C-alpha cells in the first residue's frame, strides 16, 4: 500500500494539510460508477441479511415481517437435512482440496522434468483447456460419458467385465465423480503457479547436487520440494476459505434427487429450499452462516499466509 | 555412469508417455462428444461411437441450430457479453486509475476508506436470496441489465489493473501534468493505451466469465428469454437415471442433438482458446506483481 509522504513544508503539521490537484474532482467522478454499483448490488443486499432474523413474507416486506430472533438458526442446526448439507459441503470441499493439491503438485513436478519442447507445449495446451469450459458444458459432457447404459466410460469398463456403475446415481460414486471431475478440470490450470515457482529455482543448486552425486529422487526431495513449500503453504491457506464452497456450478449441473444424501451442499440447498421453495428467511440464514464462516476463514487464511510465507494481497 | 544414463532415458520416456496420456484424458471427452454429434443415429444408438464419427452427417447441428430459442439465447449472450466487457473494463479501469493514485497530492481524500469499502465487498456479501430480492425490487427482472449490472464491478480485476497502473513509470504522468494535462486526459490518452496487455487479459477473462455464467440467467430471466448457457442448462437438465429416460435414449437422435448443442455452447470458448492460452499465463504473472 502506498504511504503518504508529506512534503518538506508540511512536515510536523497534521496530515489534512495535503493540497490536492485542482482537477481531483475528476477522480471522484471516475470512482463514482464503481462505488455506486458496489453500494447497490453488494451493500444493499447485506442489509437484507436482517431477513435471517425474521419470518419474511414477501407481501409484508422487510419492514413488516415478524421478528423471530435466532429461530432460523436454531432450526438450521436442528433440522437433519441442513446439518447433513453442512457435513456434505465440508466433506466434498476437503476431499477436493486434498486430491486437487496432490494431483496439481505431482503434475507440475513431472511436467518440470519434460525436456522435449513440443511435448511440453502440446500437453499444456490440452490440460489447460477444461478450466475454461463452463460446468454447464462439462455437465452435459459428463452426463453423456457416465451414462450407465450407453456412456463411454461404462462401455470401456464393460470390456473388462465390470458391471455398469451409476456414477451420477449412487451416493458414494457421486462423491468420487464430483472430486474426480473437479481435479480433472483444474489440475492443469492450477499447476501454472507451481511451474512458475519451479522455473524460479536456482539451477546452480541442481548442479551442485549432481556433483555431490545426488540422483533425481534426492534432488527432488532436497531441492525442489523445499523450494515449493512457500507456494504450497500460500495456496493451502488461501483455499482454507473455500471449505464451505464445494462448487455450486459443478454440483448443480451434475446432481439429481438420487444423490441428495451425500451430494447436496449448502449452496444448492439454499437455491432449492430458499429461493425456489420460497423459504427466503431460512435460505438467507444458511447463506449468512456460510458467509460468516467463510469470512472468518478468509481473514484467518490471509493472516496465516502472511505469517508463514509473507504473502500479502494488498 | 552408463547405468545412470540408461535409467535417465527410461524415466524421460515413461514420463513423456504419461504426460501425453494426461493430455489425452483432458481432451478425449470433448472429442467423444464431437464424434457423437457427427455420427449417424444408428451408430449412436448401438453404442459404437468412440472418438471418430461413424456415418458422418450434420443433421444434429441442423436440428439444434433450427431451434429459434437457441438463436435467441445466442443473441442475448452476445449482447450481455459485449455490454459487460465494455462497461466492465471502463468502470473497473476508472476506479483502478483513481486507487492507483493513492491518498496523496495526486490522489483522493478518504483513500483508505474506499479501499476498505471494496475489500469488504470482495470478502462478504448478502448471499443469493437478498440479492435476488433486490434485483427484482429494482425492476430489473427479465431485463438484460440484471445480467450485466450486478457483476460489473470485479474487485479482483480492479486490483489487477491497479497494480499494473502503479507499475507504470511515474515520470510519464508527471511530464503530462507538467504540460497541463488533467487526470482524465492522463487516464484516457496515456494509461489506457499503455495498458493494452493487461486490458486484453482482463477482457478475455471477462468474456469467458460472462459467456459461461448461467445462474443469473436462470433466476433473473423469464421463460425462453435466457442466455445460451442457461438455455443449455435447461435442455441438459434431464437426469440420466430417470427411469423413463431409458426409452428416451432409444429415441435415436436425442444424444447427437444434445452433443451438438453442448458444442455450440462451447464453440466461442474453443475458438478463443488459442488466444486465451497466450494471455492467461501472463495474466497470472501480472496479478502476482506487487509493489
Q: List all residues of chain A from 123 to 182 with a beta carbon under 8 Å from chain B.
A: 123-130, 132-134, 136-137, 139-150, 152, 155, 166, 168-169
- The answer to whether residue A7 neighbours chain B at the CB level (below 8 Å) is yes
* Residue range of the domain that includes A228: 72-309
Whether A282 maps to a domain, the answer reads yes
pLDDT at residue B290, rounded to an integer: 39
For residue B188, what is its C-alpha cell? 484516457
Q: Which residues make Cβ contacts (< 8 Å) with residue A54, sequence separation at least 6? A: A62, A65, A66, A67, A68, A281
Note the pLDDT tens digit of each residue in B185-206: 999 999 999 998 889 889 988 9
Which range of A32-41, A49-58, A194-203 scores highest in mean pLDDT? It is: A32-41
Q: Is residue A157 part of a domain?
A: yes
Q: Which DSSP state fits A70?
A: T
CATH code of residue A155: 1.10.3720.10
Please, which pLDDT band fits residue B249 given cuts at 50, 70 and 90? very low
Q: Per the CB < 8 Å rule, is B126 touching A24?
A: no
Here the cell at position B233 is: 442448462
The verdict on a CB contact (< 8 Å) between A256 and B50 is: no
Residue pair A163/A223 in contact by the 8 Å Cβ criterion: no
Task: Determine whether B58 is exposed, middle or buried from the number of CB atoms within 10 Å of its CB (0-12, 13-18, 19+).
Answer: exposed
In this predicted structure, the answer to whether residue B240 has a pLDDT above a threshold of 50 is no
- Rounded to the nearest angstrom, the minimum Cα separation between B61 and chain A is 16
CB nearest A216 (choices: B11, B19, B291): B11
Considering only CB atoms, A123 lies closest to which of B8, B22, B233, namely B22
Instruction: Give a yes or no: residue A2 inside a domain.
Output: no
A291 touches B at CB < 8 Å: yes
pLDDT band at B241 (very low <50, low <70, confident <90, very high): very low
Q: In this predicted complex, what is the ipTM? A: 0.85
Distance CA A52, CA A31 (A): 32
Question: Residue A88 class from Cβ within 10 Å (0-12 exposed, 13-18 middle, 19+ buried)?
Answer: buried
Report helix angle B228-236 to B68-100, nearest 10. Answer: 130
Please write the tens of the pLDDT for every residue from B274-286.
Answer: 888 777 665 555 5
- Of these ranges, A85-94, A209-218, A300-309, B245-254, the one predicted with the greatest mean pLDDT is A85-94
* Spatial contact of B120 and A49, defined as CB atoms under 8 Å apart: no
Cα separation values, B4 from A109, A114, A216, Å: 20, 17, 10
For residue A122, pLDDT beyond 80: yes
Q: What is the DSSP string of A254-286?
A: H--GGGHHHH--HHHHIIIIIIIT--HHHHHHH
**Residue A119 is assigned to a structural domain of this protein:** yes
In chain A, residues with a C-beta closer than 8 Å to the C-beta of B101 are 27
Q: Quote the pLDDT of residue B253.
A: 60
Q: How many whole angstroms from its chain centre is CA B245?
A: 32
Instruction: With a cut of 60, say whether residue A77 has pLDDT above it.
Output: yes
> Is A43 part of a structural domain of the chain?
no
Using a CB-CB cut-off of 8 Å, the residues of chain A touching B153 are 34, 37-38, 41-42
User: Average pLDDT in the A173-200 region?
Assistant: 92
Q: What is the DSSP letter of A133?
A: S
pLDDT for B114 equals 94
Residue range B202-221: mean pLDDT, rounded:
91
DSSP3 helix / strand / coil % (chain A, rounded to 5): 75, 0, 25
Mean pLDDT for A279-283 is 89
- Tell me phi and psi for residue B67, to 5 degrees: -80, 115
Residue with cell 523450494: A227
Determine the Cα–Cα distance for residues A166 and A183; give it in Å rounded to an integer. Answer: 20
**pTM score:** 0.85
C-alpha cell of residue B160: 489487477
Which pLDDT does position A1 carry in this prediction?
43
Residue A232 lies in a domain: yes
| Residue B15 burial class via C-beta count within 10 angstroms: exposed 0-12, middle 13-18, buried 19 and up | middle
Return d(Cα B236, Cα A125) in angstroms, integer. 28
The CA distance from B197 to the nearest CA of chain A, in Å, is: 19
pLDDT at res. B50:
84
In eight-state DSSP terms, residue B189 is I
* Percent of chain A whose predicted confidence (pLDDT) is above 90: 32
Q: Is A16 within the bounds of a domain?
A: no
CB contact under 8 A, B261 and A140: yes
Name which of A26, A31, A274 is nearest B184 (Cβ-Cβ). A26
pLDDT in tens, A27-53: 999 999 999 999 999 999 998 888 889
Secondary structure of residue A67 in the 3-state scheme:
strand
Total domain count, chain A: 1
Whether A314 sits inside 8 A of B118 (CB atoms) is no
Assess contact for B96 and B167: CB atoms under 8 A. Answer: no
Instruction: Determine, yes or no, domain membership for A48.
Output: no
Q: Which of A127, A275, A298 sits opposite B26 (nearest CB)?
A: A127
B127·A270 Cβ contact <8 A: yes
- The minimal CB distance from A149 to the residues B30, B215, B249 is found for B249
> Please, which pLDDT band fits residue B3 given cuts at 50, 70 and 90?
low
pLDDT tens per residue, range A209-230: 988 888 888 888 888 988 888 8
Amino acid at each position: 500500500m502506498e504511504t503518504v509522504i508529506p512534503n518538506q513544508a508540511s512536515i510536523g503539521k497534521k496530515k489534512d494539510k495535503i493540497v490536492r490537484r485542482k482537477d481531483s474532482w475528476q477522480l471522484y467522478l471516475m470512482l463514482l460508477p464503481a462505488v455506486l454499483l458496489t453500494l447497490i448490488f453488494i451493500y444493499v443486499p447485506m442489509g437484507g441479511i436482517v431477513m435471517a432474523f425474521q419470518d419474511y413474507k414477501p407481501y409484508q416486506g422487510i419492514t413488516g415481517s415478524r421478528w423471530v430472533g435466532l429461530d432460523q438458526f436454531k432450526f438450521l442446526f436442528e433440522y437433519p437435512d441442513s446439518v447433513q448439507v453442512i457435513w456434505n459441503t465440508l466433506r466434498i470441499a476437503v476431499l477436493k482440496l486434498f486430491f486437487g493439491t496432490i494431483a496439481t503438485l505431482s503434475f507440475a513436478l513431472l511436467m518440470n522434468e519434460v525436456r522435449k519442447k513440443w511435448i511440453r507445449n502440446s500437453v499444456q495446451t490440452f490440460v489447460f483447456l477444461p478450466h475454461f469450459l463452463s460446468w454447464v458444458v462439462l455437465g452435459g459432457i459428463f452426463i453423456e460419458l457416465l451414462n450407465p447404459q450407453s456412456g463411454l466410460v461404462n462401455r470401456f469398463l464393460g470390456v473388462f467385465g465390470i458391471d455398469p456403475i451409476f456414477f451420477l446415481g449412487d451416493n458414494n460414486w457421486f462423491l468420487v465423480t464430483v472430486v474426480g471431475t473437479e481435479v480433472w478440470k483444474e489440475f492443469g490450470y492450477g499447476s501454472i503457479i507451481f511451474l512458475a515457482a519451479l522455473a524460479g529455482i536456482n539451477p546452480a543448486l541442481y548442479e551442485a547436487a549432481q556433483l555431490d552425486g545426488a540422483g533425481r529422487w534426492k534432488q527432488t526431495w532436497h531441492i525442489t520440494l523445499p523450494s515449493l513449500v512457500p507456494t504450497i503453504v500460500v495456496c493451502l491457506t488461501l483455499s482454507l476459505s473455500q471449505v464451505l464452497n464445494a462448487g455450486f456450478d459443478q454440483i448443480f449441473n451434475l446432481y439429481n434427487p438420487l444423490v441428495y444424501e451425500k451430494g447436496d451442499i449448502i449452496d444448492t440447498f439454499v437455491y432449492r429450499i430458499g429461493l425456489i421453495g420460497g423459504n427466503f428467511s431460512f435460505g438467507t440464514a444458511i447463506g449468512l452462516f456460510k458467509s460468516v464462516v467463510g469470512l472468518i476463514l478468509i481473514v484467518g487464511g490471509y493472516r496465516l499466509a502472511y505469517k508463514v510465507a509473507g504473502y500479502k494481497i494488498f | 555412469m552408463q547405468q545412470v544414463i540408461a535409467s535417465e532415458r527410461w524415466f524421460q520416456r515413461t514420463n513423456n508417455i504419461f504426460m501425453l496420456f494426461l493430455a489425452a484424458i483432458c481432451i478425449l471427452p470433448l472429442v467423444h462428444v464431437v464424434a457423437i454429434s457427427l455420427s449417424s443415429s444408428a451408430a449412436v444408438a448401438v453404442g459404437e461411437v468412440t472418438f471418430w464419427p461413424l456415418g458422418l452427417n450434420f443433421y444434429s447441428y441442423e436440428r439444434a441450430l433450427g431451434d429459434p430459442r437457441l438463436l435467441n439465447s445466442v443473441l442475448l449472450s452476445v449482447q450481455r457479453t459485449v455490454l459487460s466487457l465494455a462497461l466492465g473494463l471502463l468502470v473497473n479501469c476508472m476506479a483502478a486509475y483513481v486507487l492507483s493514485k493513492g491518498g496523496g497530492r495526486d490522489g483522493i481524500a478518504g483513500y483508505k476508506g474506499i479501499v476498505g469499502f471494496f475489500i469488504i465487498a470482495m470478502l462478504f456479501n448478502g448471499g443469493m436470496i437478498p440479492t435476488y430480492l433486490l434485483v427484482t425490487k429494482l425492476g430489473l427482472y427479465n431485463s438484460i441489465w440484471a445480467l450485466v449490472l450486478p457483476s460489473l464491478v470485479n474487485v479482483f480485476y480492479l486490483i489487477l489493473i491497479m497494480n499494473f497502473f502503479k507499475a507504470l513509470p511515474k515520470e510519464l504522468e508527471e511530464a503530462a501534468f507538467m504540460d497541463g494535462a488533467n487526470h482524465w486526459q492522463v487516464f484516457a490518452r496515456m494509461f489506457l493505451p499503455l495498458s493494452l496487455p493487461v486490458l486484453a487479459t482482463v477482457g478475455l477473462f471477462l468474456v469467458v466469465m460472462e459467456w459461461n455464467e448461467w445462474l443469473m440467467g436462470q433466476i433473473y430471466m423469464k421463460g425462453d428469454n435466457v442466455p445460451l448457457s442457461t438455455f443449455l442448462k435447461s435442455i441438459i437438465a434431464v437426469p440420466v437415471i430417470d427411469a423413463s429416460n431409458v426409452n428416451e435414449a432409444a429415441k435415436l437422435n436425442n444424444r447427437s442433438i444434445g452433443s451438438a448443442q453442448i458444442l455450440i455452447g462451447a464453440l466461442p470458448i474453443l475458438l478463443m482458446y488459442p488466444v486465451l492460452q497466450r494471455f492467461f499465463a501472463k495474466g497470472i504473472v501480472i496479478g502476482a506483481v506487487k509493489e
